[in-house]
C-alpha cells in the first residue's frame, strides 16, 4: 500500500525521534529547577513510604502498588502516544517517562491510603478526596509549572479514573490474597 511506512522506515523514524528527544532533554530539561523538582517528586514519596509503611503489610501494599503502577503506566502511555497530553520535563529522555507521578507520588499515596483506610467505606471516601485533589488541584498546578501539558484532555476526565483505579486494584489484591489463603 502506498503511503504506509515499512517496518524499516518506522525503525529509522524511531531512532531519529530518540535522538531528538535526547538532544531536547540535554538542552531543555537536565539539571533545570523543574528536573530537580520532578526528581524529588519521584524520590521523596518513597522515602516517606519507607518510614510509614507497615512492614507486616508490605506484600499486600507492594502488590497493590505494582498493579496501580502498571495500569497507570499503560494509561499514561496511551494518552501520551495518542496526543492527549505530554510532559515537557522528563527525568530521562525516553517515552513520556512516564511522568514522575506514575512512579512516585501516585502509587505511594494510594498504597498509604490502602494501609490506613482498611474499611471499604473509608477507602472509597478517601479515594474520592484524593481524586478531587489530583484532578482539580495537582493537574492544574503541574500545568502552571510547565510539568504537564494537556492537549485533548480536561481535569474532569481524570476525576473518575482516580477513583476507579484504586478501587479496582484493591479488589484485585484482595482476590489474589483470598485465593492464596485457599
Cα-Cα end-to-end distance for the chain: 55
* Alpha carbons 82 and 78: distance in angstroms, whole number: 6
At residue 89, the pLDDT reads 87
pTM: 0.90
Give the integer Cα–Cα distance in Å for 54 and 51.
9
pLDDT of 107 reads 93
72 in Cβ contact with 102 (< 8 Å): yes
**Residue 171 grid coordinates:** 479488589
Question: Which pLDDT does position 158 carry in this prediction?
Answer: 96
Residue 155 CB neighbours (<10 A): 15
The predicted pLDDT at position 101 comes to: 75
d(CA 161, CA 15): 33
**What is the rounded (10 degree) CA torsion for 93, 97, 100, 106?**
-170
Average pLDDT along the chain, 182 residues, taken 10 residues at a time = 88 93 93 94 95 97 95 90 90 69 89 97 98 96 94 97 97 95 82
Residue 62 DSSP code: H
Choose among 71, 53, 52, 74: nearest CA to 62.
Answer: 53
Q: What is the pLDDT of residue 143?
A: 95
Please say whether the beta carbons of 150 and 88 come within 8 A. Answer: no
Q: Check residue 181 and give its pLDDT.
A: 86
pLDDT value of position 77: 86
The DSSP symbol for 90 reads -
Any alpha helices (H) in 29-153, and if so which ranges?
Answer: 33-52, 58-81, 99-103, 105-116, 120-133, 139-144
Q: What is the DSSP string of 140-158?
A: HHHHHTTS-EESS--HHHH
Amino acid at each position: 500500500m502506498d503511503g504506509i511506512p515499512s517496518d524499516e522506515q518506522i525503525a529509522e523514524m524511531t531512532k531519529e525521534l530518540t535522538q531528538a528527544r535526547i538532544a531536547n532533554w540535554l538542552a531543555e530539561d537536565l539539571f533545570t529547577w523543574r528536573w530537580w523538582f520532578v526528581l524529588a517528586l519521584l524520590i521523596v514519596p518513597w522515602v516517606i513510604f519507607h518510614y510509614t509503611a507497615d512492614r507486616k503489610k508490605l506484600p499486600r501494599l507492594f502488590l497493590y502498588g505494582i498493579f496501580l503502577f502498571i495500569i497507570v503506566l499503560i494509561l499514561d502511555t496511551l494518552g501520551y502516544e495518542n496526543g492527549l497530553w505530554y510532559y515537557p520535563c522528563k527525568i530521562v529522555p525516553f517515552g513520556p517517562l512516564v511522568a514522575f507521578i506514575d512512579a512516585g507520588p501516585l502509587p505511594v499515596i494510594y498504597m498509604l491510603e490502602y494501609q490506613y483506610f482498611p474499611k471499604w467505606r473509608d477507602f472509597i471516601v478517601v479515594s474520592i478526596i484524593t481524586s478531587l485533589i489530583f484532578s482539580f488541584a495537582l493537574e492544574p498546578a503541574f500545568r502552571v509549572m510547565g510539568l504537564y501539558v494537556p492537549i485533548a484532555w480536561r481535569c474532569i476526565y481524570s476525576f473518575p479514573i482516580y477513583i476507579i483505579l484504586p478501587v479496582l486494584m484493591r479488589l484485585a489484591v484482595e482476590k489474589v490474597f483470598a485465593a492464596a489463603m485457599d
